[in-house]
A = this chain, B = another copy of it.
Amino acid sequence: MGAVTARDLARHLGVSQSMVSRAFSPGASVAPAMRARILRAAEELGYRPNVIASALSRRRSSLVGIVMAELTNPFYPAVLEQLNAALREAGFQSLLITIPPGGSADDALPMLRQYHVDAVVLTSASLSSASASHWLGDGRAAVLFNRTAIGPTRLDSVACDNVGGGRMAAEALLAHGCRNPAFVAGRADTSTSHDRERGFRAALAGHGLTPLRIEAGDFSYEAGHRAARALGGADGVFFANDILALGGLDALRHEMGRRVPDEVAVIGFDDIPMGAWPAYRLTTLRQPVPEMIDRTIGLLRARLGGDDAPPRAERLPASLLRRGSL
Point out residues on A near B: beta carbons under 8 Å: 1-3, 48-53, 55-56, 59, 61, 66, 71-72, 74, 76-78, 80-81, 84-85, 93-98, 100, 110-111, 113-116, 137-139, 221, 225, 246-247, 249-251, 253-255, 273-274, 277-280
Contact, CB under 8 Å: A66 / B96: yes
- Complex Cα–Cα for A249 and B56 (A): 53
A116 and B63 CA atoms in complex are apart in Å by 13
Q: Are A56 and B59 in contact (CB under 8 A)?
A: no
Known: A74-B77, A221-B277. 12 other contacts (CB 8 A): A50-B116, A51-B114, A52-B115, A53-B56, A66-B96, A71-B77, A71-B78, A72-B78, A84-B98, A247-B277, A250-B277, A255-B278
Contact A94 B95 (CB under 8 A): yes
Given known A72-B78, A138-B3, contact A113–B48 (CB-CB < 8 A)? yes
> Does B96 lie within 8 Å of A96, measured CB to CB?
yes
**B66 x A61 contact (CB < 8 A):** no
Q: In the complex, what distance in Å separates the CA atom of A56 from the CA atom of B77?
A: 32
Taking a contact as CB atoms closer than 8 A, the residue among B2, B110, B114 that contacts A138 in the complex is B2
Beta-carbon contact of A277 and B115 below 8 Å? no
Q: Given contacts A95-B93, A273-B221, A274-B274, is CB(A114)–CB(B48) below 8 Å? A: yes
